[in-house]
């Protein structure tokens, strides 16, 4: 069996860079086309010197053209901004090319909710309804049959995986959920912005977009699916002075008397066949350094005996598990491979 030809639209951002890193040695996918309007005409190694001397180093960067890419590519990853991806995806799908979209354009099933949060009208409602939300632990069977994947956001990945079993098994009060998340600076993208330059981020820690972060409806949508009733969460976000990683802490009142050991066992049973979910032992909490560069989601569970609250701590790498690695896991499933193919990296420590 020959390798499956893949392309990346938007190779110069952090998610594009991470896709290149992970695809470089994938046993079944071959990266054959990469695009960027700003860097077209250059070789990939000119913008990513870590590829110097490798098979991908001389791959030319071209202007994105779906018709030309469709001649060579079976699958494309869209690493472009929301509002742009939806129309590009539609072009590829009509040309018979499978799509994994890393933007937010196909994550929300309600086009009105999308327009409200992203200030863009959705122009591809036909494909919006077809898209499968790409969280392998929850939707593996659907992903395997899909031709369009809505790759989850980084914050939602950490929050949904933390809360899904607790809501599924009615362990917590679904009306009083607080999600407190912190992300490394790469989560803001690679474009130059004052708020993410070195002197603004280093030796600092700040909140942003409180009460209005665009990942909020995505989290609520998927948690609503988990328990079958509408979920409203309080979601707050913070910027950490680190490159990569997300640490999410969730607080929710327990609905019924349960010991922490019982709760841990419920989580272990729910995720028993999910190799990327690591339920940590009692009194051990996740840290971002232990998941850096990997697909792992580490979950730590604590029962606050005084307030009868469940506290869930989740750690992921925002670029790998929260974006590009998850995109490749979805592509693996779309082609009948094990989701872990090419993604079994150990953490980049220290």
Positions marked catalytic: 154
Q: CA–CA separation, 155 vs 179, rounded Å?
A: 10
DSSP strand E in 40-82: where? 61-62, 75-78
Cα–Cα–Cα angle for 73, 139, 145, nearest 5°?
45
Residue matched to tokens 């600076």:
185
Tokens of 217: 């409806």
What is the rounded CA–CA span in Å between residue 59 and residue 335? 24
What is the Cα–Cα distance from 36 to 14, expressed in whole angstroms?
13
CA dist list (Å): 149 to 50, 96, 101, 258, 334: 29, 14, 6, 37, 9
Structure tokens at 331: 């592509």
Strand partners, 8: 34, 77
The 3 state secondary structure assigned to 61-98 is EECCCHHHHHHHCCEEEECCCCCCHHHHHHHHHHCCCE
Q: How many whole angstroms separate alpha carbon 279 and alpha carbon 276?
A: 10
Closest CA to 10 of 186, 195, 188, 189: 189
């Amino acid at each position: 069996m020959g390798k499956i030809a893949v392309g990346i639209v938007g190779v110069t951002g952090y998610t594009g860079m991470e896709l290149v890193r992970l695809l470089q040695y994938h046993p079944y996918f071959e990266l054959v086309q990469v695009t960027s309007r700003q860097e077209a005409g250059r070789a990939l190694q000119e913008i990513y010197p870590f590829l110097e001397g490798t098979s991908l180093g001389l791959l030319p960067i071209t202007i994105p053209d779906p018709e030309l890419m469709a001649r060579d590519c079976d699958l494309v990853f869209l690493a472009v901004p929301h509002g742009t991806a939806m129309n590009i995806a539609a072009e590829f799908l009509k040309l018979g090319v499978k799509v994994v979209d890393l933007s937010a354009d196909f994550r929300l099933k309600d086009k009105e909710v999308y327009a409200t949060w992203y200030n863009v009208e959705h122009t591809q409602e036909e494909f919006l309804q077809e898209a499968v939300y790409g969280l392998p632990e929850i939707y593996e069977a659907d992903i395997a049959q899909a031709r369009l994947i809505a790759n989850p956001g980084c914050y939602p990945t950490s929050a949904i995986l933390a809360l899904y079993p607790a809501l599924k098994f009615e362990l917590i009060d679904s009306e009083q959920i607080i999600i407190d998340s912190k992300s490394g600076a790469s989560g803001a993208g690679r474009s130059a912005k004052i708020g993410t330059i070195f002197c603004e981020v280093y030796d600092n820690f700040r909140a942003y977009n409180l009460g209005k972060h665009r990942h909020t409806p995505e989290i609520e949508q998927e948690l609503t699916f988990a328990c079958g009733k509408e979920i409203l969460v309080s979601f707050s976000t913070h910027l950490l002075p680190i490159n990569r990683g997300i640490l999410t802490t969730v607080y929710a009142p327990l609905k019924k008397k349960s010991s922490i050991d019982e709760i841990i066992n419920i989580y272990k049973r729910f995720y028993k066949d999910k190799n990327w979910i690591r339920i940590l032992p009692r009194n051990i909490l996740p840290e971002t350094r232990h998941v850096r560069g990997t697909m792992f989601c580490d979950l730590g569970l604590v029962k606050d005996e005084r307030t009868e609250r469940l506290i869930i701590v989740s750690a992921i790498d925002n670029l790998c598990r929260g974006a590009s690695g998850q995109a490749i896991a979805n592509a693996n499933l779309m082609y009948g491979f094990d989701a872990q193919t090419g993604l079994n990296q150990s953490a980049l420590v220290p």
